[in-house]
Structure 1
């Protein structure tokens, strides 16, 4: 059995407005695209309403969402839901121009089957003085819909020590190895020491699972007012699961189906999107710090724009 205990002793603390005078020739084309975009946008919102409604009724699948979000940390929770609904096995998406710039083309039969996501546009001010955000429909395609679909996708695996070093570096508080912890726990946050304590002698996957859970809890507590493990702990559980899925750590022990009912009875358009965004933002933040600590470059990750 490898000894990973020494790792814990090595830590350093829109586009411009159109001209008023437009030719008659331009108007039909512009209006046609506007109608198309509006239709796609309405369909995207309808899809999200359906998904949020299912979560509110306790029938939504948290695992389906988390599996997609783990592959797309740079996409918003809403767009991860939209991608998952339209192409659940998607691994890398891009618009026509993005694929074309890489010398990759959309397959002819797939051009009529774009994945519709929502792209932020210009902010605006409401009558009450608050700021709103416009969103526009954007067509993207998964790599499976392109001429690159048959290219072998490399199976990435990470050295255990490198993976744990990345996780340790992502933590907002120090991580320390101890001989024993109460109640047979593998890791726990100590408010007195302001540190995450880890039981010595565990295997790397066990360390990753229990430490990532504590790291996520601490990160959420620091970023959310009134965070409570009793009521919000499921968010940390989901983040830990996504980190495992992202980095190839066995996640079979996670009982994600138990999270399917956490949103039951909540307001579909308010509470649920907010909770999913908390999870996604925490995952994105920890994943980013891990990737930098592990020396992963932008080219070695999915080339996604944040949406």
Structure 2
């Protein structure tokens, strides 16, 4: 007697060709959704802001996957596939909303000899669609002092407060310094600094002038601010850059890609700074 006698699912064979066709169809639909969403984002401030909200929360997601999440479930906060949830003893609801993203698969060689990576469609579920919904932990709130301090540590150039400045903050590339006006409210201080730190990173990483990267730095500042619960009502996306309208999809995704990279660099440095300071405070309290 075989142990497989315990299975009672019938004798229907696994149709590998049918399974592959379904995956291919899912992948094709995902790419079409990305292109269609990009076309909407180029002309719609609401759609563009929605994408930024998602990319800000999922800063490690690729641009393509952030676009897919934005199009399917923009309110998502924590996404995992069925098996990963199950390994944590969390169960996906029977009628849970599916979110399709793309994950890297095999490397291949193109006709011109360059290397490429193929992608497979992957179904994931948000925590709100699982048994862990009631156990969702609220994000730890950081004080504005902690956030500003972390932003200073994330800056590639010194941040210097001054009395006489027309703008709330200004990155001067010639002096490689961010000047910050004294007397600002905490939120204006953080948002203004976030934009100028982004401009400085663009200058150092992409050799883009402050004027060239102005809107992208504005977007990064929005994502950083929304990530840490800073009020973003002052951000206006009703007028997107004129060149976005009709821009080639790959070029547009390239623009979003640099925003994601600058965001990731700033977020990573801010996180390290806050963890370091938290560790120092804990040691001080233990004394």
Who is 2:159 aligned against?
A: 175
* Larger RCO (CA under 8 A, 6+ residues apart): 1
The separation in 2 between residues aligned to 1:131 and 1:102, in whole angstroms, is 36
On the 8 A contact 1:63/1:257 being kept in 2, the answer is no
The separation in 2 between residues aligned to 1:143 and 1:261, in whole angstroms, is 38
Spell out the pairing of 1:1-307 with structure 2 (5 A cutoff): 28-56=14-42, 58-59=43-44, 61-110=47-96, 113-181=97-165, 184-225=166-207, 227-259=208-240, 262-268=243-249, 270-295=250-275
- Which consecutive residues of structure 1, in runs of 5 or more, have no partner in the other structure? 1-24, 297-307
Deviation (angstroms), 1:59 = 3.7
User: Cα 1:259–1:246, aligned 2, differ >3 Å: closer, same or farther?
Assistant: same
On the 8 A contact 1:177/1:197 being kept in 2, the answer is yes
- SS in structure 2 opposite 1:166? helix
- SS in structure 2 opposite 1:137? strand
The separation in 1 between residues aligned to 2:226 and 2:263, in whole angstroms, is 11
Deviation (angstroms), 1:260 = 7.0
On the 8 A contact 2:216/2:259 being kept in 1, the answer is yes
Deviation (angstroms), 1:172 = 1.1
On the 8 A contact 1:55/1:264 being kept in 2, the answer is no
Deviation (angstroms), 1:26 = 11
Provide the aligned length of Structure 1 versus Structure 2: 265
- Which consecutive residues of structure 2, in runs of 5 or more, have no partner in the other structure? 1-10, 277-287
Q: TM-score, normalised by structure 2?
A: 0.86
Q: TM-score, normalised by structure 1?
A: 0.81
On the 8 A contact 2:171/2:210 being kept in 1, the answer is no
- SS in structure 1 opposite 2:240? helix
Report the RMSD for the aligned CA atoms in angstroms.
2.0
